[in-house]
Structures are given as C-alpha cells and as structure tokens.
Amino acid sequence: MTASDTLPPAQPRTTPLEVREADRVCALLGTAQKELASVIFGQDAVIRLALTALLSGGHALLVGPPGLGKTLLVSTIGTVLGLETRRIQFTPDLMPSDITGSEILDEDATGRRSFRFVRGPIFCQMLMADEINRASPRTQSALLQAMQEHRISVAGAEHALPRPFHVLATQNPLEQEGTYPLPEAQLDRFMLQIVLDFPAEDAERRMLLATTTAQEHTAQPVMDAQALLDAQALVRSMPAGERIVDAILRLVRSARPQNTTDATIRNQVSWGPGPRAAQTLMLATRAHALLDGRLSPSMEDIAALAVPVLAHRMGLTFAARADGLRPEDIVTRLVAALG
C-alpha cells in the first residue's frame, strides 16, 4: 500500500461540459424560483430551502402555524418541477397500509384466487405528508424505509418507489394535543427542517390583493422529473474546497458533547448530530450555491443552512431547556465561532 492509497479521494473538478450544464440548470432553477414566488408570497427563503432539499435528493419538514401556505407551497413545487404529487392528511386513525398499500384477494373468471398488491399513495414522485405528527408512531414508521431506501416491504415482497422520490411533510407547532412527536430516527431522515414565519407587511398586502380576486395566478411547469434528476447529479459533481470540508466537519463535531472540549456544549447538549448531518450539509451547501448560479459552495452557504440541517438533529439537556435555550441558538453560536 502506498501513501496515496491512504488519502481520501480528491474533490471532483468541474469540466467545461459541466459548466455548460450548470448554466442550463441555473437558468431553469431561476425560472422555477420566480414561478414559485409568483404564487407563494413573502417566503423566498423558505422556497430556496425547499428547493435545496430537493436538489440534494432529500426530504424536508415544514414547521409553522396554520395559514402560512405550507400545503400550497408543496403542491406548487410539485407543479413547477413537473413531479407526480400526492397528498396524505395524517390523522390518528391512519394505518400504515393507507400509505404503502396492501394485498387484496382476487378471483378470476375460472374461480382461481390470488393475491394482488394495490399500491398506496406513497407511489409518487413527491409525497405531501400533511400534519405528519397527527398519525401514530406505527404509521409514521411506514415512511422510514421509504425515505431512506426508496422502497417499501409489504407481505415479504419489496416494491421500488418512483425516481425521484421526495417527502415534504408539514407540522403545526402550536396544537400539540393528541399528536405524536416524531422520534429522533425519523427526524434524522429529513434533510432540512424549515421553519415558516409570518410574511412581511408588503408581502401580506400582495397576497391579500392577489388571492381575493376573480382570477388567481396559477403556477406553470418549468421542469420535469428527468430535469430534477439531472440537477441532482450535477450537485454531486460540484467541487467543494478543503476550507468548506474542514468547516463542515468542525461545525458538526463541535455540536457533539463527546467530541468537543467546550464545557458549555457539554453542559447544554445531551446528544449531537451524527455523520449524516455532515453529509447532508455538504450536499445542501452545493445545492444552495447552484441556486445562486455558483459552481462551488462558500462559508455563507454553511451559515445559511446550519440551523435547518443541524437543529432538529440535536437534543438539549434539562438545564438548557429550563434556561429557555433552543438548538437553533446553540447552532448559531457555533457558526459564529467558525470565523
């Protein structure tokens, strides 16, 4: 074994062909963002984060009070990106088979009986899981294999899901009675947790005028499933400098009480983000840069994505929660320490 065999593979280099492909993809993404903004008012940052998750090949959890357009955002993204989209309203009585599908007993003209698998709504390119925390843990777990492996198992048989496959779930943080908080293992499957806030006054004025007339603007398709797959492949081929790689590793590892010498983190964080968080942040920063028309990520991309990537992958100690601290506060402080 030589010394070069022990070194990690070099970061990919951008070829002239990839530059031309990036220009084409950037133009499509710019048009898609404008089309989404023409329907979803005052949520430009949320739109960028949702597109970042999709370009990275992941899933996103949208958290916000009712009436902020979470469901409208997901359905509009499906229209603009040309994806087959289905919606499931999660309720306490929803069963796993209502999501994945089930086998039924068929009888043909000769009287011969056999089982036939009837696909559930999860067989789509983008699944809108509305109020995902309203369903029982048993039903929530039906999504785990699908989100990670892009396939499901029913009656011992595996069924592949369409490509691309993404889950955009919504969650209302206000009404918690009768809900089932998502376990840490499922939260980790969501690439980004995107928090929606109330729009600014001028955006709310535009929304008021645009949505109370006889004719409302509807979004038009800009891309299709293959175009999204091509963009995802481009994201994975984008180079990232050693400074970015080092910053991501330092940030993620500094959020773990086991890996840091910071006594404050040890006293405030009970468990930190795992390696999947670093992988997610690497892909997300590349996608975020591509949305800006850049071919490599910067420290600004890390700062913009640190909270959506890391905050839902951390647990705080009882003392930290009693002091009113949130994971977002700790992540923000760690980002500032990167310099």
Domain residue spans of the chain:
239-339
Query: Is residue 13 very low, low, confident or very high in pLDDT (cuts 50, 70, 90)?
Result: low
Across the range 108-123, mean pLDDT stands at: 82
Across the range 190-208, mean pLDDT stands at: 88
Q: Which tops the pLDDT comparison, 139 or 178?
A: 139
Residue 202 has pLDDT above 90, yes or no: no
- At residue 10, the pLDDT reads 46
CATH of 239-339, one of 1.10.8.80, 1.10.10.60, 3.60.20.10, 1.10.287.890: 1.10.8.80
- At residue 11, the pLDDT reads 53
Helices (H), 38-161: 44-55, 70-80, 96-100, 137-140, 142-149
DSSP letter at 11?
P
264-301: pLDDT as tens digits: 888 899 988 999 999 999 999 999 999 998 888 999 99
* Top-confidence range, 8-12, 107-111, 247-251: 247-251
Across the range 215-240, mean pLDDT stands at: 89
Contact (Cβ atoms closer than 8 angstroms) between residue 194 and residue 62: yes
Across the range 239-261, mean pLDDT stands at: 91
**In whole angstroms, what is the distance from residue 325 CA to residue 339 CA?**
22
- At residue 7, the pLDDT reads 45
* Top-confidence range, 54-58, 134-138, 334-338: 54-58
Contact (Cβ atoms closer than 8 angstroms) between residue 209 and residue 25: no
Query: Is residue 15 very low, low, confident or very high in pLDDT (cuts 50, 70, 90)?
Result: low
**For residue 41, which of 223, 286, 209, 263 has the smallest C-alpha distance?**
209
- At residue 4, the pLDDT reads 42
Q: Which tops the pLDDT comparison, 261 or 223?
A: 223
Residue 9 has pLDDT above 60, yes or no: no
- At residue 63, the pLDDT reads 92
- At residue 8, the pLDDT reads 52
Across the range 67-87, mean pLDDT stands at: 90
Averaged pLDDT of the chain: 86
Contact (Cβ atoms closer than 8 angstroms) between residue 171 and residue 61: yes
Across the range 63-78, mean pLDDT stands at: 88
Contact (Cβ atoms closer than 8 angstroms) between residue 166 and residue 125: yes
Residue 303 has pLDDT above 90, yes or no: yes
**CA distance readout (Å), 277 to 30, 186, 249, 311, 313:** 27, 13, 10, 10, 8
Query: Is residue 133 very low, low, confident or very high in pLDDT (cuts 50, 70, 90)?
Result: confident
- At residue 159, the pLDDT reads 87
CA-angle at 133, arms to 161 and 185, nearest 5°: 65
